[in-house]
Chain A
Amino acid sequence: MTVEQNFEALDQFPVGMRVLAVDDDQTCLKILETLLRHCQYHVTTTNEAQKALELLRENKNKFDLVISDVDMPDMDGFKLLELVGLEMDLPVIMLSAHSDPKFVMKGVTHGACDYLLKPVRIEELKNIWQHVVRSRFDKNRGSNNGDKRDGSGNEGVGYSDQNNGRANRKRKDQYNEDDDEEKDDNDDSSAQKKQRVVWTVELHKKFVAAVNQLGYEKAMPKKILDLMNVEKLTRENVASHLQKFRLYLKRISGVANQQAIMANSDLHFLQMSSSLNGLDGFNHRPIPVGSGQFHGGAPAMRSFTPNEILGRLNTPSGIGVRNLSSPPAGMFLQNQTDLGKFHHVSSLPLNHSDGGNILPGLPLPLEFDQLQTNNNNNNNNIRNMNNNKSIAGTSMAFPSFSTQQNSIIGAPNNNLVVLEGHPQSSPPGFPGHQINKRLEHWSNAVSSSTLPPPAQNSNSINRQFDVSPLPQSRPDTLEWNNVSSSYSIPFCDSATTLSPPALDTTNPRAFCRNMDFDSSTNAQPGCFYDTLQTRQSGNYGPTTDAMLSSSNPKEGFVVGQQKLQSGGFMSAEAGSLDDIVNSTMKQEQSQGDLSGGDLGYGGFSSLRTCI
């Protein structure tokens, strides 16, 4: 793996973490696989322990983590655990339906990193990457004790195996201009606990300004450092940051033009690097934080407090920033620093209703756009991004404020500068208006696809329903199979009519959307859903247009139109849960969400998009 590839992988970690899942129970295995995919891990599954061992033995570097069930017929899960631990030195997580403490104890004594109980929840799986980080960090720490090259910036690379670490060091050598200085830095860094430098937006702005001034091609760490004129920043810090910056630019240079990159790179780059840096600072100090909330962000946040340079955050000036009318809200602020007081203050005019969890700052639109263009499965991506970006977002939120309220932000911003130095003007070409537009666009997209608060959904569960005999509607509903033969389905590319036989044959089959309605069976409803799915992207414009332009306008459309055109979730006749759910259902049609649309829970997937 080349150095650059490694950076790519690391920048995205824990996304793409390679997990091997082993469970003889097919149900659980399938669920586990889907859960892991939703966490954006790369999943391989097998239901046999033997096969798992083979897979692991064939290539030791193929997986980052193993999750295994405990009671399996062909091999005891504990045995597998032992073997994997011994041979491959990979972190192993145990799964079991038994909550008996003695089994948990057995797991731990056999070397399991963690012991999860079935049913496994996605929140637990979202955190398992910690074990990978921890084990690698411990490995590196043990073997690199005397290695002085692992400076602050290089810590992030420590997660690769040794070879890549050395390769990175070689690359670092390119930046070495002054051997003496480097030795001093290294001595310092190895003598004391490594000071984690956090690249706040202010700092990064200076960095970028310096780079611009020197010329991107010619920028060398020493010169950048001099230009930045920031105390306690070492050439090594700058060098590693420059390295990351260069890779970052290279990566996204295909996406946007240079201007936009340079301007927005402050935010985006910091977002990317925060997740990277976050891993560095992970082990610095145990901070009692909720497990689910702090993915990449918390470690970086932790690095705030132990770092004495940042002690200023605890000063009144830090508190002073709190009084800004639009400070960042974010989960990470629940920390013992005074920044924790920021927690619930959020007054940016965004339409989404989610209060504390979303940073009302610029990073979101940037990320959101990129995600949309990448056509990811946005749901968890965005949520995770938000979680991760919360730290970087703090400092990142400031530039947004600076565009909106220059005078207010100016002074407090200076106080929040991590490292003392001369405040510089904003980087050239910082497109505040562009970012604001994106903000609006994003919040519009959000508002058009928001769902009602879960409270309503929970009401539906809590209502006391008796299982009344279902109305005899089925004969009726099935009859129109015959009646509809002369009508074509809209949005169908082929625009052929429904053929009752086709429907009838599909009836006894499972109700899966794809099985019944795929193009191979030529059943018309399939076309409907497929095209509907491709067209619907969170707003109803295209769908409505398609309806209008359909060659066979049906009055049934009118009903649908009315519902859709009501502009989102609450239909005009909203009042009963059924209507709401129907609207949800229509909204979710593109997702072919069968049981999910029932209580609006399928809507969670679009809810994820909003968040």
Chain B
Amino acid sequence: MLGLGVDRLQADINRLLASLFHQGVLDEQFLQLQQLQDETSPNFVYDVINIYFDESEKLLRNLRLLLMDREFSDYKKIGLHLNQLVGSSSSIGARRVRNVCVALRSASELSNRPGCLRGLEVVEHEYHYLKNMMHELFQLEQQRLLAAGVRYPM
């Protein structure tokens, strides 16, 4: 019974991942992360992604604060934040987030405030979508582990 549960969960995980790849939300770099996970760092993917979430949320909050400010003019700072976002997003394989960050970076380099605001919204949207997907993935993983870890007499 549980064997099937595991299978089903596994299938769900696969389907989710495949879909994310297909949508371009994730790319090969994410696979590299998975490959780096092994006995010496068994929770690597989870840890890294959580670090990413923490850092990115801070950055996004800062960005929003900066851009919402009417007197805002420090595009350089925005550029720095975005640089970091681009770097970390690409490092974990979050391709769509990275791409929209690059677009936002270009807008900030042109000192285009409305453009930046719009861009920021897109970034936030993509980021939250990614975060939700990751959460779902992690949940499935957790359940699969539990399912795999228990045996019933049949």
- Please report A residues at the B interface, Cβ cutoff 8 Å: 24-28, 30-31, 34-35, 37-38, 69, 71, 73, 96-98, 118-122, 377, 379, 460-468, 470-471, 473-474, 476-478, 480-481, 483-484, 487, 489-490, 498, 503, 507, 510-517, 524-525, 528-529, 533, 552-560, 577-579, 581-582, 585, 589-599, 601-602, 604-605
Contacts and interface: CB of A to CB of B under 8 A. Distances in A.
A27 B55 contact: yes
17 contacts: A31-B92, A71-B83, A119-B32, A119-B91, A119-B92, A379-B38, A470-B12, A477-B147, A511-B141, A514-B43, A582-B7, A592-B39, A594-B37, A594-B45, A594-B145, A595-B46, A605-B37
A467 B16 contact: yes
A487 B22 contact: no
B5 A581 contact: no
A583 to B, nearest CB: 10
Given A31-B92, A557-B151, A581-B14, A512 B32 contact: no
Contact of B19 (A98, A466, A533): A466
A30 B41 CA distance: 11
A25 B84 contact: yes
A97 B18 contact: no
A511 B88 contact: no
A533 B39 contact: yes
A489 B153 contact: no
A468 B42 CA distance: 29
B145 to A, nearest CB: 6
Range for the number of chain B residues in contact with chain A = 35 or more
B63 interface: no
B15 to A, nearest CB: 5
Nearest to B101: A97
Contacts of B54: 26
A595 B136 CA distance: 12
Interface in B95-154: 136-154
A467 B19 contact: yes
A27 B91 contact: yes
A512 B42 contact: yes
Contact of A578 (B7, B45, B147): B7
B54 to A, nearest CB: 8
A19 to B, nearest CB: 16
Contact of A577 (B14, B21, B41): B14
Contacts of B141: 511, 594-595
A464 B19 CA distance: 7
Contact of B154 (A467, A554, A589): A554
Contacts of A464: 22
A554 to B, nearest CB: 4
B52 to A, nearest CB: 4
A38 B33 CA distance: 12
Given A25-B87, A27-B91, A71-B84, A465 B151 contact: no
B21 A477 contact: no
Given A513-B43, A594-B141, A26 B55 contact: yes
Given A31-B92, A593-B37, 12 more contacts: A27-B55, A31-B36, A71-B80, A96-B87, A120-B91, A122-B32, A468-B15, A477-B9, A487-B151, A510-B43, A513-B42, A524-B149
Interface of B: 1-3, 5-19, 21-22, 29, 31-48, 50-52, 54-55, 80, 83-84, 86-88, 90-93, 136-154
Contacts of B22: 461-462, 464-465
A599 B84 contact: no
Contact of B46 (A466, A512, A525): A512
Given A25-B55, A463-B18, A601-B31, A582 B38 contact: no
A374 to B, nearest CB: 14
B85 to A, nearest CB: 8
A595 B3 contact: no
A606 B41 CA distance: 15
B44 A34 contact: yes
A591 B39 contact: yes
B87 A554 contact: no
Contact of B137 (A28, A480, A481, A595): A595
A558 B154 contact: yes
Given A34-B44, A556-B152, A595-B137, A582 B6 contact: yes
Most buried by A among B21, B42, B153, B154: B42
B87 A35 contact: no
Given A377-B40, A525-B146, A529-B149, A460 B86 contact: no
Contacts of A30: 47-48, 51
B35 A601 contact: yes
Contacts of A481: 146
A560 B86 CA distance: 44
A379 B41 CA distance: 14
Most buried by A among B13, B147, B151: B151
A298 to B, nearest CB: 25
Given A525-B145, A594-B37, A595-B34, A118 B138 contact: no
Contacts of B151: 487, 489-490, 554, 556-557, 560
Given A552-B153, A604-B35, A514 B146 contact: no
A578 B19 contact: no
* A-B pairs with lowest CB-CB distance, top 8: A555-B154, A512-B43, A511-B142, A525-B149, A97-B87, A556-B151, A27-B88, A559-B3
Contacts of A604: 34-35
A25 B88 contact: yes
A25 B150 CA distance: 39
A591 B38 contact: yes
A470 B16 CA distance: 9
A46 to B, nearest CB: 16
A471 B146 contact: no
A501 to B, nearest CB: 14
Nearest to A476: B5
Contact of A477 (B29, B87, B143): B143
- Identify the interface centre among B8, B43, B54: most chain A CB within 10 Å of its CB: B43
A53 to B, nearest CB: 21
A97 B10 contact: no
B14 A578 contact: yes
A367 to B, nearest CB: 20
A602 B9 contact: no
Contacts of A119: 29, 32, 87, 90-93
